[in-house]
Amino acid sequence: MSTNILTVDDLRIATTTGMPVLDGISLRVCRGEVLALIGASGSGKTTLALAALGHLRPGLRATGGSVRLDGVEMLTAPQPVLNRMRGRVASYIAQSAAAAFNPRMRLGDQVVESALLHRSQSAVQARARAQDLFGYLSLPNPDRIGTRFPYQVSGGQLQRFMIAMGLQEEPLLMVCDEPTSALDVTTQVEVMRLLKQAILDNDTAALFVSHDLAVVAQIATRIAVMCAGAIVEIGDTEQIINAPREDYTRELIAACQHLSLGALAQRPARLPASADATLSVKGVVAGYGKVSNGKPSIATLHGVDLEVRKREIVAVIGESGSGKTTLARVIAGLHAPASGAVTMSGETLAGLDAQRTAAQRRRIQLAVQMADTALNPKHRLRRILGRVLAFFHGIKGAAAEARMLELLAMVSLPPHYLDRYPTEISGGEKQRINLARALAAEPEILICDEITSALDTIVAGQIIALVKRLRDELGLTIIFISHDLATVASIADRVTVLRHGRVVEAGESAEVLSAPKDPYTRLLVASVPELRQGWLEDAAAMRATLATELETSRPGAA
Amino acid sequence: MTGASTSLRLSPTLAFSTVVLTMFALIALVSLVALPQDPFDFITDEPLMPPAVGMWLGSDYLGRDVLSRLMDGTRITLFMALTATLLAHLIGDTLGLLAATRGGFVDTVLSRIVDIVLALPKIIVGLVVVAALGSSVWVIIGIASVVYAAGVFRIARALGNDLKEMDYIKLARSRGEGMGWILFGEMLPHVVRPLATDFAIRASFAILFMSSLSFVGLGVQPPMADWGGMARENLGGLSTNPLAAVAPALAIALVSIALNLLVDALDGDARH
């Protein structure tokens, strides 16, 4: 292919304080080619993708090299030139569609906005093109859906509007920054399929940023593996996946395979769990608004049962809106159920933690998804951990110091971290501290609410390994809440699948995940990306049959 | 963390406000030890005399030394304004954060009381209370602190409402932590900076409010000197010795402007 669309030559970008972020990157993207940039967070992949659009985030500057898009030097181009190029020559598809759209403007107007600003299409042409794209991207009622506001469509639909926006002016290059990472698995398959088709049909080139190798394998023609601001390995998708040359690439692939349904087979036998339930949840109904007759006006849980035995890891899986986080909050005492009961070792727990005893509160600890908001940024880690020790156990001074060092060792962090603030450690390390704080209480039951969702594959794998080790060493009972089946497969002994606040299937994880009975569970399982080319097409075909089965088997389910 | 010390650059506004405020603080301190003349003594028989050697700002309507009274008044005015603002913050911050964290009934009751206080004109409240209780330094400080606590409450409550949604607050509550730790251990470090900004701007309002009370004759009672009272006493002498009324007015303006510029400098600095 001779038509080079994007040429990056020895690109160097550093922070204004002189720390290198990109260190001599060179690559080319031709027409009809999808180049994936893959790497852990902090590897510089987003910085590189944005540089292709001539954008550097505040605090960064280019220190050398060139980025030429369709013959224009993007690093030195004046603002008016960049404005003309963006949307028309290169478009951008962001990770969070919800944050990218103006909530006060109709979607149709936002999709055609740049075409009208550029005067590249007349208003009539632009609207016609947008309608075609809505139909092409399988949005319902393409001729009318453009009049809706962003909050009136679902997350998956919003992401499709963003793709439509990216395609509106038929750009030469689409820069996609983790376009499906924020979506549920079942939605992700559909968006991935449409995005791939759109790239192929329009014969555009694309830069595809992702941390998920399995997703990348479906869409990319070539893959560049990045680490610490440099390209470790670049090659055809086939070669990278099947015959990686570098150790780092192999590590990525191993992490990806570890977190896949295939991991079920290789799991060692688990510790024998005792037969009696440590925690049991019976017929819990919870939600928001006024409660009448034991039913809240908006219910998110409709009579959920859950049994957890000692030293067991039970996973609760569900997509956004399934009520899994509400369930976690009910167990932790942060959300009072309208009816139903939570019992721990035979004691019935009060709905709100204020009415529970200190011992009951200590025995159940919660670790949450966003480590950023879970740790007070104004407290040093010493204070964060020390407070829990003093509060529950009255340990102070040298004894507390010694215990904190033990806790740090337990989560594999060095002792000098005690003097750091949460803003001075990485996302994975924050999650470790999050767990250490829960452990400081010496709980029996640990609830992990999506603790790996915000982490990249390698780090998530390390956290999963840590949780498993904690169970083995400390005999903890763990409730692991997640939307990610692959993660769950690698850790859980038993699985409960939630959908719209109801349990659709529960049982041994090996059984549920390898031979799911409920059509919804089958759909979930079929939607987990696998690290092989051609999976996407198989999954899309399988989805179609499962979706009809789901419709017919559950009349009345929304 | 790059540290607050490096991020605070010396801008012209910051320099000006610091110099002015330091100067007035020094004057207040010096007035405790020594003054050019006795501020209460009738130094000359000539009222509202223009400036002369030994009486650099002339005499007031009773023949007292304007400069000495201005210096003495600096101490009284600044003490009253800062004490009132400090009290307003102690009350407003605690109740505001409490209302945000507790919510429900506590929040509703406190918020409605604050609405009522804010709805009443400050000067009228001052007139009524002074009429009932008589005027003293502490009555005036009390009025000002209650009146300004209402505004502080609103700000602290808004800050608290943002914070209480943070997981670390929720986790602290699920642990069973008491209000003391949640308000002062978890929340306070986050709100110190915005509240300090508010403190500076509210202190300048308090100076103006107390000066207005004195100006209508309800503030600090003669023969004590405060800026607002001095401006009122000597208003009749604008043609013979304008400085007797203008100097205290100028002092009020200078301190208010300096405090506002200080806020701007700190606030702009926080945004970087």
> From first to last of its 558 residues, what are the pLDDT tens digits of chain A?
458 889 999 999 988 888 888 988 999 998 889 999 998 877 888 889 999 998 888 888 889 899 999 888 998 889 999 988 888 899 998 877 778 898 889 999 999 998 998 888 899 999 999 999 998 888 888 888 999 998 888 888 888 899 899 989 889 999 998 888 777 788 788 888 888 888 888 888 999 998 888 888 888 999 999 988 899 999 999 899 888 999 988 888 887 776 666 656 555 555 555 667 789 999 999 888 788 777 888 888 998 999 898 888 999 998 877 888 889 989 998 888 888 889 998 888 888 888 888 888 999 999 988 777 889 988 999 999 999 999 999 988 899 999 999 999 988 899 999 998 988 888 888 889 999 999 999 999 999 988 887 777 778 888 888 898 888 888 899 999 988 888 888 888 899 999 888 999 998 888 888 888 888 888 888 888 888 888 888 888 888 787 777 777 654 443
Residue A406 vs residues A115, A385, A435: alpha-carbon distances, Å: 60, 11, 13
Identify the sign of the CA torsion B98, B102, B103, B106.
negative
- pLDDT greater than 90 at residue B91: yes
Note if the bond before B223 is cis, omega within 30 degrees.
yes
Distance CA(A352)–CA(A329), nearest Å, equals 10
Beta strands A347-349 and A60-69, pairing class: unpaired
Q: Which residues of A touch B1 (CB under 8 A)?
A: 421, 423-424
Contact flag A361-B175 (C-beta cutoff 8 Å): yes
Q: Which residues of A touch B168 (CB under 8 A)?
A: 373-376
| E strand intervals along A202-324 | 205-210, 222-227, 230-236, 277-292, 295-309, 313-317
How many CB atoms are closer than 10 A to CB B70? 26
- pLDDT greater than 90 at residue B86: yes
Angle at A89 (CA atoms; ends A83, A92), nearest 5 degrees: 75
- pLDDT greater than 90 at residue B229: no
Beta strands A295-309 and A445-449, pairing class: unpaired
One-letter amino acid of A255: A
A84 shares contact with chain B (CB less than 8 Å): no
Return the structure tokens found at A62. 């280019």
Torsion angle in degrees (nearest 10) through CA of A477, A481, A482, A488: 20
Return the structure tokens found at A110. 């936002």
Q: Among 3.40.50.300, 3.40.50.1970, 3.40.190.10, 3.90.550.10, name the CATH number for the domain at A4-260.
A: 3.40.50.300
Find the closest chain A residue to B182 by CA distance: A376
Of the partner residues B175, B176, B186, the one whose CB lies closest to the CB of residue A376: B186
What's the complex ipTM? 0.73
Find the closest chain A residue to B167 by CA distance: A374
In the A/B pair of chains, how many CB contacts fall below 8 A? Answer: 47
User: Cα-flanking dihedrals φ and ψ of residue A42, to 5°?
Assistant: 90, 5
Q: How confident is the model at residue B113 (pLDDT cuts 50, 70, 90)?
A: very high
B192 shares contact with chain A (CB less than 8 Å): no
For chain B, give the mean pLDDT.
Answer: 87
Distance CA(A73)–CA(A92), nearest Å, equals 18
A423 shares contact with chain B (CB less than 8 Å): yes
**Fold topology of B12-28+60-271:** MetI-like fold (1.10.3720)
Give the pLDDT of residue A263. 59
Q: Tell me if A516 sits within 8 A of A505, measured CB to CB.
A: yes
Of the partner residues B175, B177, B189, the one whose CB lies closest to the CB of residue A378: B189
Residue A463 vs residues A228, A432, A456: alpha-carbon distances, Å: 21, 7, 11
Distance CA(A11)–CA(A76), nearest Å, equals 13
Give the pLDDT of residue B56. 83
Q: Tell me if B224 sits within 8 A of B236, measured CB to CB.
A: no
Give the pLDDT of residue A1. 44
Distance CA(B218)–CA(A238), nearest Å, equals 87
Return the structure tokens found at A473. 């060493």
Q: Name which of A557, A522, A556 is nearest A542 in CA terms.
A: A522
One-letter amino acid of A466: L
B164-192 as b/e: b if 16+ CB within 10 A: bebbbbbbbbbbbbeeeebbebbbbebbe
Residue scoring higher pLDDT (A294 or B192): B192
Q: Tell me if A462 sits within 8 A of A430, measured CB to CB.
A: no
Q: Tell me if A479 sits within 8 A of A445, measured CB to CB.
A: yes
CA distance B168 to chain A (A): 4
Mean predicted confidence (pLDDT) in B89-106:
93
Residue scoring higher pLDDT (B15 or A271): B15
Distance CA(B173)–CA(A354), nearest Å, equals 8
Q: Tell me if A303 sits within 8 A of A327, measured CB to CB.
A: no
CA distance A375 to chain B (A): 5
Give the pLDDT of residue A315. 92
Distance CA(A301)–CA(A317), nearest Å, equals 14
A376 shares contact with chain B (CB less than 8 Å): yes
Place of tokens 């097409």: A537
Q: Which residues of B touch A368 (CB under 8 A)?
A: 167, 171
User: Cα-flanking dihedrals φ and ψ of residue A480, to 5°?
Assistant: -110, 110
Contact flag A334-B185 (C-beta cutoff 8 Å): no
User: Cα-flanking dihedrals φ and ψ of residue A32, to 5°?
Assistant: 75, 10
Give the pLDDT of residue A526. 83
Of the partner residues B174, B177, B189, the one whose CB lies closest to the CB of residue A332: B174
Of the partner residues B174, B176, B177, the one whose CB lies closest to the CB of residue A366: B174
Q: Among 2.60.260.20, 3.90.70.10, 2.60.40.1120, 3.40.50.300, name the CATH number for the domain at A277-380+427-527.
A: 3.40.50.300
Return the structure tokens found at B270. 């926080």
Of the partner residues B167, B176, B177, the one whose CB lies closest to the CB of residue A373: B167
Residue by residue, DSSP assigns A56-103 as --TTEEEEEEEEEETTEETTT--HHHHHHHBTTTEEEE-S-HHHHS-T
A76 shares contact with chain B (CB less than 8 Å): no
Q: Tell me if A519 sits within 8 A of A557, measured CB to CB.
A: no
Q: Which residues of B touch A388 (CB under 8 A)?
A: 175
Residue window 345-364, chain A: list those with CB within 8 Å of chain B. Answer: 353-354, 356, 358, 361
Residue by residue, DSSP assigns A21-37 as EEEEEEEEEETT-EEEE
Place of tokens 């960049």: A82
Residue B104 vs residues B109, B111, B175: alpha-carbon distances, Å: 9, 11, 21
A78-113 as b/e: b if 16+ CB within 10 A: eeeebeebbbbbbbbbbbbbeebbeeeeebbebbbb
Q: Which helix (H) or strand (E) holds B218?
A: none
CA distance B91 to chain A (A): 24
- pLDDT greater than 60 at residue B202: yes
Contact flag B177-A361 (C-beta cutoff 8 Å): no
Domain boundaries, chain A: 4-260, 277-380+427-527
Burial class (CB in 10 A: 0-12, 13-18, 19+), B26: exposed
- pLDDT greater than 80 at residue B80: yes
Q: Tell me if A477 sits within 8 A of A308, measured CB to CB.
A: yes
Q: Name which of A330, A438, A333, A329 is nearest A375 in CA terms.
A: A438
Distance CA(A6)–CA(A67), nearest Å, equals 7
Identify the sign of the CA torsion A234, A241, A189, A134.
positive
Q: Which helix (H) or strand (E) holds B127?
A: helix B122-133
Place of tokens 């100067």: B23
Radius of gyration of chain A (CA): 25
How many CB atoms are closer than 10 A to CB A465? 14
Q: Which residues of B touch A353 (CB under 8 A)?
A: 173-176
A503, β-bridge pairs = A498
Angle at A490 (CA atoms; ends B168, A41), nearest 5 degrees: 55
CA distance A69 to chain B (A): 33
A18 shares contact with chain B (CB less than 8 Å): no
Give the pLDDT of residue A259. 61
Write the CB contacts of B73 (distance below 8 Å, at least 6 apart in sequence).
B225, B226, B227, B229, B230, B248, B251
Give the pLDDT of residue A266. 55
CA distance A209 to chain B (A): 29
